[in-house]
Amino acid sequence: MNPLHQYLLLSAMLFSVGLAGALVRRHAILVLVGIELMLNAANLNFLAFWRYGGNPEALTGIMFVIFAIAVAAAEAAVGLALIISIYRHLRTSNVDEVNKLNG
């Protein structure tokens, strides 16, 4: 068990937790919370590979995580706006009840 190994195992478990949240919970916001957990697990993977990988001088892992955080912020904003819009039209935030394409 070297450090890289520990970080990879931790992020695999965190990813599984996030996946469970996205699959099992039916509230639209809690699905988004699960997706955020999965994104964070991926970020942890990037950083672990940067720190213990072959070429840490290039700082590639850090740049990747910076861009991933910015994209995740944009994704959360648009996703939450979509949830508000769906709630206005259908009066529900349960993703199982949103099964029609015409509002």
Partner 1 sequence: MQPSDETRSIPNSIMPPLTDFLFYAFSGLTLACGLLCVLNPFSRNPVTSAMFLVLTIVSMAGLFVLLHAFFLAAVQVLVYAGAVMVLFLFVIMLLDLREEERRRFKTFTLGTGALVVAVIAGLLVRVLSGALPVSRPGPGIEGDTKVLGRILFEQYLLPFEVLSLLLLVAMVGAILLSKKDMK
13-72 binders of partner 1 (CB under 8 A) = 13-21, 23-27, 29-30, 32-34, 36-37, 40, 43-44, 47-48, 50-54, 56-57, 59, 62-63, 65-67, 69-72
Q: Quick check: 74 binds partner 1 (CB under 8 A)?
A: yes
Residue count, binding to partner 1 (CB under 8 A): 71
CB of 46 to partner 1, least distance (A): 10
CB 75 within 8 A of CB 42: no
